[in-house]
Amino acid sequence: MSKKHILVITQYFYPESFRINDMCIEWVKRGYKVTVLTGIPNYPQGEFYDGYSIKDRRSENWNGIDIIRIPLIPRGHSSIKLFLNYISFVVSGYFWKLRTKLKADYVFTFEVSPMTQALIGVWYTKKHKVPNYLYVQDLWPENVEIITGITSPIVIKPISSMVNYIYKNCTDIFATSPSFVKEIQKRVEDKEKVHYLPQYAEEFYVPVTRQIVPEIPQNDKFKIIFTGNIGQAQGLDILPKTAQLLRDENIEFVIVGDGRYREEFEKEISQCGVSDMFVLVERQPAEYIPKLLAACDAAFISFQNAQLWTMTIPAKLQSYMACGMPIIASAFGETQRVIEEAECGLCAPIGDKQALAQQILKLKNEDLSAMAENSRAYYEKHFEKHSIMDGLDVYFKK
């Protein structure tokens, strides 16, 4: 019996650090043949990774996964370049669909922005009459409105129509939070084809003993760490303002990562006069993050003040919880719900620096070891990798 073949469509893939990398490895372990259609790696720095270009390494095999890289324009550091990045991938995907001889049994699109990439999956499945699965990480057009500030119906209505077209042509749709499920169900006739499928953390995200790492100074300060993409959506501008209120409290913020907002964030730290309270660490391999977390006392999550983020469970929440981290958050909605249900941390309203400062001071006096245990226990119960992947298998074996 031949292996079932999954065609994965994702604009971002190894060596870019996204959870779909691990999902594909797991499918190979489970006996599937996996082909990934992706772009030339350029996230988040906006330039092609060393060794990759329009000419170089357009196809490769990684951990048993066949990777096809179609041309795109790197995302750069401007809104225009980002728009061209999004459009170029889907245009390349359209021409790839016309000429490819690849035959897959299923299509699985991993949708972080842009949603436009899911059109490739629709086009392929219409041509080859195979099931089309979509895993929604970012809601559109809401994400476009918040990130770009564009609310004109002239722009948003066509995007909304595109989203409806994609959802209509999916066999099943998976979403990363219960709130996402409700929003997507408003757009589809068949409500039953929309399912809650939370993200998991890769298996190297585990609690480790307190670490000494060269990137983080050894001192007696209470350390709060943030890891991941530094973009406007993350709402990190709250931290320099909060740090001003905590100048005399022996607290240090460790920021690990890179992104389009990092340069502006560094300016805000300087302008607030709190540079001595921040440790800025360049983007690190995901496998190294647990050691960095273990060198700190609590992990931080924040968002921009927008309705969309109340519906979001960010991927870093699972990573933090898998490592047994107490969590401090500037968050509403789904993230607040999980943290409070798990009893693994404290939350302050988005954008409220006074409340965040108070919660940080409160956290310093909490039983962090109990929060750490609760964090990992909740992860194992609700976000464990193999149970989530088993759930997907049910749909592939229909």
Q: Are residues 187 and 239 in the same domain?
A: no
The pLDDT, as a whole number, for residue 85 is 94
The pLDDT, as a whole number, for residue 1 is 55
The pLDDT, as a whole number, for residue 398 is 67
Whether residue 206 is contained in a domain is answered as no
The pLDDT, as a whole number, for residue 233 is 75
Give start and end residues of each alpha helix (H) in 246-347.
262-271, 289-294, 307-310, 315-322, 333-342
Q: Are residues 160 and 230 in the same domain?
A: no
Q: Are residues 274 and 335 in the same domain?
A: yes
Whether residue 301 is contained in a domain is answered as yes
Return the bridge partners of 107, or none. Answer: 7, 132
**Residue in 212, 206, 180, 204 with CA at minimum distance from that of residue 296:** 212
Domain of 57, CATH number, reads 3.40.50.2000
Q: Which domain holds residue 143?
A: 5-199+384-396
Number of independent structural domains in the chain:
2
Angle (deg, nearest 10), helices 385-396 and 20-29: 70
The whole model's pTM is what?
0.89
Whether residue 211 is contained in a domain is answered as no
Q: What is the mean pLDDT of each run of 10 residues along the chain (398 residues)?
A: 89 95 97 97 91 91 97 90 94 96 96 96 96 95 78 87 97 96 96 96 93 90 93 86 94 92 92 95 93 97 84 93 97 94 96 96 93 97 95 85
